[in-house]
Structure 1
Amino acid sequence: MSKQNSLLIVILTIGVFGILTTEMGVIGILPSIAEHFDISVAKAGLLVSLFALTVAISAPIMPILFSGINRKKIMLLVLGIFVLGNIVSIFASNFTVLLIARVIPAIFHPIYCSMALTVAATSVSKEEAPKAVSKVIMGVTAGMILGVPITNYIAGETSIEMAMLFFAIVNAIAFIATLIFIPSLPVKERLSYGTQISVLKKPIVWLAITTVIFIGSATSSINSFIAEYLGTVTNISGGTLTLALFLLGLASLFGNLVGGRLLTKNAMKTATLFPIILGIILLLSFLTGKSTGPMLITIMLWGILFAIGNNINQYWITSSAPEAPDFANGLFLSCGNLGITIGTAVGGLFISGMGTQYIVLGGLLFLLMSLVSILLRNYMYSPTTKQLAS
C-alpha cells in the first residue's frame, strides 16, 4: 500500500470516527442530557434512536443519488454539515432544537460512510482491499464505542456543551485533512440505479437484511443505555463509569481485529456461533450486573463481541450482493441503524416497564431471532441444499 493510499485511509477512518462519534457519543451522556433539559432518559434516547432511524431511511437512497459526483466534494459537503450541526447543538436552547440539529446531518451520514468503505476498497489492490476496509470499519467501531467514554469524560469534567464541541472538532479535523491531503476523486465507473437496486430481488439479500437488523437490535437494546445500566444497576459513576466505558471501547477495537480474522478463516461458523456466545455474555451481565469487578470483566467481553458483530453485519450484507458494493454498504448502514432504532426503543420499553436491569432480556430475544435467520441462510444456500435442488 502506497503512502498516499495509507494517508487516504487514515483520513477516511478519522472522518468515519467523527461521524459515528457524533451519532453514538451521546449514549454516555444521556442521563446528563435528560437532567439538563428536564426530560426522561427514555425521551433523551430519541437523540440516538431518531438519528439512527433517519440514517436507516436515507442509507439505501442517498449514496445512490450522489454516486456520480466527485467523491472529494461529497466528503467535504457531509463533513461540513456535521460540523455545523454540532455547533448548533452546543447552543441548543431546548431539546427540540438539539434533536433537529442531529437529524439533519443524519440524512447525509450514509453518503460518507458508504463512500468511505467503497473508496478504501478501490484505492488498493483486490488482495489488499479487505485489510483497507477493516481499517475504516475500525473507525466505525471506535466511533460507536470509544467515542462514548471520551464524551462521558469530557461532559463529566466540563459540560455537555463541551462534549458537543468535541464532536465538532473531530469532524472539523477530518474536513481540513480531506481538503488539504485528499486529491480529486472523480467517479470513473457508475452503475445505473436499476442495476444496484435489482439486488433486492435476491432472497439471500433479504435474509441478510433481516439478520443485520436483529443483530443490531440485540446489541443496541443494551448499548444505547449502557451508561444508565452501569449507573443504576452496578451503581458506579464518575471516574469508574468513564473507566468502564473506556474498557468497553478498547475491547471493541480488539474485537474488530478478531472479527476480521475469524471471518477470513470461517465466515459461516463465525456468524452462527456469534448470537450464541453473545447470548451467554448477556446472561453473564444479568448475573454480575450488581458487582463492580465482575461487571467490568463482563463489559470487556461484551465489547469484543459487539465489534465482532459489526464485522459480521458488514460481511453478511456485502457478501449477499457483491455486484453492487455501494448499494450493499448503504444497506449495511441502513439495517444497522434500523437495528439501533428498534433496539433503543425496545430497551426504553424494558426500562419503563420492568427496570433497567431487564434490558438484557430484549437483547436475548433479538439474538434468538438472528440465530434463526442465520441458520436459514446457511441451510438455503449450503452446497448440499443446492445439490439436492438441482
Structure 2
Amino acid sequence: MTKRNNLLIAILTLGVFAIINTEMGVIGILPLIADNFNVSISKAGLLVSLFALAIAVSGPIMPLLFSGINRKKVMLLVLGIFFLGNIVSMFTSSFAVLLIARVIPGFFQPIYCSLAFTAASASVSEKEAPKAVAKIMVGVSAGMVLGVPISSFIASTTSFTIAMSFFAMVNVIAFTVTLLFIPSMPVKERLSYRAQLSVLKKSIIWLSIIAVILMNGAVFGVYSYLAEYLKVVTNIPEKLISVVLLIYGVANIIGNIVAGKLLSKNAIKVVVSFLLTLGVVYTILFLIGKFTVPMALISLIWGILGGIGGNINQYWIASAAPEAPDFANGLFLTSANLGTTIGTSVCGLFITGMGTQYVVLGGLLFLILSVVSVLLRVHMFSFTKLHSK
C-alpha cells in the first residue's frame, strides 16, 4: 500500500471509530442517563435498541441512495450529523429530544461504514482488499471496546455532559482530518439503483445473507450474555467481570488484524475453520466455564474468533456481489444487526427455559445452521463458476 492509501485507511478507521464510539459508548452511561432524565433503565435502553433498529432498517437503503455522490462529501455529511447529534445530546433536558438526537444519526451510520469498507477495498488490489477492510474493522472493534469504559469513567468522574462531549470531540477530529487530508473522491462509474438492486436476484447473495445472520447470531447470541454468565456460572466478582470483558475486547481487535491476512490467502478454509473452532470453544465453555482461569483463557480465544468472524461476515456478502460494493456492504450491516438481534433473542430463550449455562447451546445451534448455509453457498459458487466456463 502507498502512503496515500495508508493515510486514507487510517482516517477511515478513525471515522468508523468515532461513529461506533457514539453508538456503543452510551451503554456505559445508561444508569446516569436514567437518573439525569428521570426515566427507567429500560426506557434509557431505547437509546441503544432504537439506534440498532435504525441501522438495521437503513442498512441496504441509505448506502444505495448515496452511492453516486462524491465520497468525501458523504463522509463529511455523516460525521457532521453525528457531531450535531452529540451537541444536542449534551445540552438537552428532554429525554424525547435526546432519543431523536440519537436515532437520526443511526440512520446515517450504514452510509459511512459501507463507504469505508468500499473505499478501503478500492484503494488496494483485489488480493489485498481483506487486509484493508480488516484495518477498518479495527476501528469498529476499538469503538465497541473502548467507548463503554471511557464514557463510563468520564461520566463517573465528571458528568453526563462531559461524557457526551467526548463523543462530539472524537467526531469533530474525524471531520477535521477528513476535510484537510482526504482528497475529493467523485464516483467515476455510478451504478444505477436498478443495477445495484439486481444483485438480489442472485441466489448466492441470499445464501450469504442467511449465513451472516446465523454466524453473527452464533457469536453475539452468546457474547451478549457473557457478563451474566461470568456472574452466575463462573461466579466471579464484578470487578473481575470487567477485566474479562476487556480481555475479550482487546482480543477482538487482535482477531481483526489477523483476519485480513488469513482471508487474503484462503477464504473458504478460514470460514470453515472459524466455525469449527468456535464450536470447540463453546463446547469447552459449557464443560469448564465454572472455573475462573480457564474462563479468562476461553474469553481470549473467543475474542480473537469474534474479531475474525466480523471480517468473515463482511467478506462473505461483499464477495457475493462485487459488482455493487456499496449496496453489498449495506446488506452486510443489516444482516449483522439482524443476526445480533435474533441470536440474542433465541439464546435468551435457552437461558429462560434451562438456565444461564445453557446459553451455549443456542450458540451451537446457530453454528450448526451456519455450517449448512456456508456449505450450500460454497457448492452454489462452485456450480455457477463451473457452468459459466
Q: TM-score, normalised by structure 2?
A: 0.87
Counterpart check, 1:195 vs 2:195: yes
Q: Which residue of 2 aligns with 1:25?
A: 25
The question of whether the paired residues in 1 share the 8 Å contact of 2:134 and 2:259 is answered with no
Aligned partners of 1:298 and 1:362: how far apart in 2?
18
Q: Which residue of 2 aligns with 1:141?
A: 141
Q: How does 1:210-225 map to 2 (within 5 A)?
A: 210-225=210-225
The question of whether the paired residues in 2 share the 8 Å contact of 1:85 and 1:101 is answered with yes
SS in 2 for 1:382: helix
Counterpart check, 1:168 vs 2:165: no
Aligned partners of 1:240 and 1:161: how far apart in 2?
28
Q: Which residue of 2 aligns with 1:53?
A: 53
Identical counterparts, % of pairs: 62
Q: Which residue of 2 aligns with 1:72?
A: 72
Q: 1:231 to 1:159 in 2, by over 3 A?
A: farther
Shift of 1:100: 3.3
Q: Which residue of 2 aligns with 1:178?
A: 178
Q: Which residue of 2 aligns with 1:246?
A: 246
The question of whether the paired residues in 2 share the 8 Å contact of 1:214 and 1:369 is answered with yes
Q: Which residue of 1 aligns with 2:317?
A: 317
- The alignment covers a number of residue pairs equal to 388
The question of whether the paired residues in 1 share the 8 Å contact of 2:135 and 2:257 is answered with no
Runs of at least 5 residues in structure 2 that lack an aligned partner in the other structure: none
Shift of 1:154: 4.2
The question of whether the paired residues in 2 share the 8 Å contact of 1:49 and 1:341 is answered with no
Q: 1:202 to 1:251 in 2, by over 3 A?
A: same
Aligned partners of 1:324 and 1:300: how far apart in 2?
36
Shift of 1:373: 0.7
The question of whether the paired residues in 2 share the 8 Å contact of 1:216 and 1:343 is answered with yes
Aligned partners of 1:228 and 1:92: how far apart in 2?
33
Aligned partners of 1:101 and 1:84: how far apart in 2?
8
Q: 1:159 to 1:352 in 2, by over 3 A?
A: farther
Q: Which residue of 1 aligns with 2:109?
A: 109
Give the letter aligned to residue 25 of structure 1.
G
Q: Which residue of 2 aligns with 1:257?
A: 257
Shift of 1:356: 4.5
Q: Which residue of 2 aligns with 1:122?
A: 122
Shift of 1:337: 1.5
Shift of 1:342: 2.2
Aligned partners of 1:99 and 1:236: how far apart in 2?
35
Give the letter aligned to residue 132 of structure 1.
A
Aligned partners of 2:287 and 2:92: how far apart in 1?
40
Q: Which residue of 1 aligns with 2:226?
A: 226
Q: TM-score, normalised by structure 1?
A: 0.87
Aligned partners of 2:58 and 2:256: how far apart in 1?
26
Aligned partners of 1:38 and 1:233: how far apart in 2?
31
Counterpart check, 1:82 vs 2:88: no
Shift of 1:261: 2.5
SS in 2 for 1:313: helix
Give the letter aligned to residue 334 of structure 1.
T
Runs of at least 5 residues in structure 1 that lack an aligned partner in the other structure: none
The question of whether the paired residues in 2 share the 8 Å contact of 1:34 and 1:40 is answered with yes
Aligned partners of 2:45 and 2:351: how far apart in 1?
12
Aligned partners of 1:214 and 1:68: how far apart in 2?
31
The question of whether the paired residues in 2 share the 8 Å contact of 1:141 and 1:310 is answered with no
Worse overlay, 193-202 or 369-378: 369-378
Deviations 1:110-160 (A, max 9, x none): 111111111222234555444322211221232234434444544555566
Worse overlay, 120-129 or 62-71: 120-129
